[in-house]
Amino acid sequence: MSTIDMIEAAAGRLAGHARRTPLLSSPFLDDIAGRRVLVKPECLQHTGSFKFRGAWSAVSALDPDVRARGVIAFSSGNHAQGVAYAARLHGVSAVIIMPSDAPKMKIDNTRALGAEVVLYDRASEDRDALGAKLATERGLTLVKPFDEPLVIAGQGTSGLEIVEQAAGQGVHQADVLVPCGGGGLTAGIALALEARAPGLRVRPAEPEGFDDTARSLLSGQIERNERLSGSLCDAIITPQPGNITFPINKRLCGPGLVVSEDEALRAMALAFARLKIVIEPGGAVALAAALFRPDQIAGDAVIAVASGGNVDAQVFRTALERFAE
């Protein structure tokens, strides 16, 4: 069970290792949203996404003897890079299991961060069995992407920063919009806000067609996505909310917000022009909701987390070509 004490402890372990990201704003974005917009750019975190926080939290909490045998993770994306880099900085090995059809750049980046990448064939191989075999043979510890209290606690450290930084800008009452996949970042921030800034409330943001958490919050039980691919917002597409994250989010979050892929791309172009940051489509859904769903948000300020920036140049160029003013 994740608690504020675990988040505070994770913050202690992350100090001097994870980056304290700033809280950005622009009067031009305020004008579009009709209220103050504060953006927490986790794209500026090590490895380009918030995932480094949870990975560091989990790896740093391991017993040194256990950690020395190495860690293992399943991921084709941001979690892979976060775990690979956290392991490298701890001086231990990391095995990352990726589908053989993952983008070459992501495979190369994960290898360049020092991890051993093991590829498997989605059609013919059982990923979990492969991972279990490797873990047993080598004594590796599995680092789960979201349904793991230490990982949730690590993601929650960004929430502690939001609490301080929002108060520093005079914001004590606002919705905090968080891009939501499995729900680890959402749950971690929600727990931090519950304890330290009860006037701030988390609301998950998702892309159309992949709004499992919004629908789950409405129905009160875990709902699945019909599709699992075909979105530019790949970084935050998961089959369904996590078994550990969802009860937290059900208890603490306000209603989910849903935006289109084009709105995410437009938010990316605005973040380029007005904040000078690079956001990936999945990482832009919360900013898109802040800008383009003003009627679904109350209050004179809104906070949006930009959760990651690992986007192909081609996709980014398309966003600029279509939506830059």
- By CB under 8 A, name the binding residues for a copy of itself: 16, 19-22, 24, 27-28, 31, 41, 43-44, 48, 85, 105, 109, 112-113, 168, 269, 272-273, 275-279, 309, 313, 316-317, 320-321, 324-325
> Cα dist. 66→46, 52, 80, 116 in Å?
24, 20, 20, 18
76 as an active site residue: the answer is: no
Toward a copy of itself, which CB reaches closer, 138 or 276? 276
Residue pair 254/201 in contact (Cβ under 8 Å)? The answer is yes
Active-site choice (57, 60, 231, 307): 307
Rounded distance, CA 229 to CA 242, Å?
Answer: 18
307 as an active site residue: the answer is: yes
Q: From the CB of 216, what's the least distance to a copy of itself, in Å?
A: 30
Active-site choice (51, 57, 106, 158): 51
Residue pair 231/206 in contact (Cβ under 8 Å)? The answer is no
Q: Which of 307, 309, 19, 51 is nearest to 177 (CA)?
A: 307
Residue pair 143/72 in contact (Cβ under 8 Å)? The answer is yes
Q: From the CB of 68, what's the least distance to a copy of itself, in Å?
A: 22
- Residue 223 tokens, joined: 């709902």
Toward a copy of itself, which CB reaches closer, 155 or 213? 155
Q: From the CB of 30, what's the least distance to a copy of itself, in Å?
A: 11
Toward a copy of itself, which CB reaches closer, 191 or 268? 268
At 252, the amino acid letter reads L
Q: From the CB of 272, what's the least distance to a copy of itself, in Å?
A: 6
Toward a copy of itself, which CB reaches closer, 91 or 220? 91
Residue pair 20/256 in contact (Cβ under 8 Å)? The answer is no
Rounded distance, CA 48 to CA 235, Å?
Answer: 12
DSSP letter at 188 equals H
Q: From the CB of 2, what's the least distance to a copy of itself, in Å?
A: 27
Toward a copy of itself, which CB reaches closer, 279 or 288? 279
Would you call 65 exposed, middle or buried from its count of C-beta atoms within 10 A (0-12, 13-18, 19+)? exposed
Alpha-carbon torsion 189, 194, 197, 200, what sign? Answer: positive
The residues carrying an active-site annotation are 51, 307
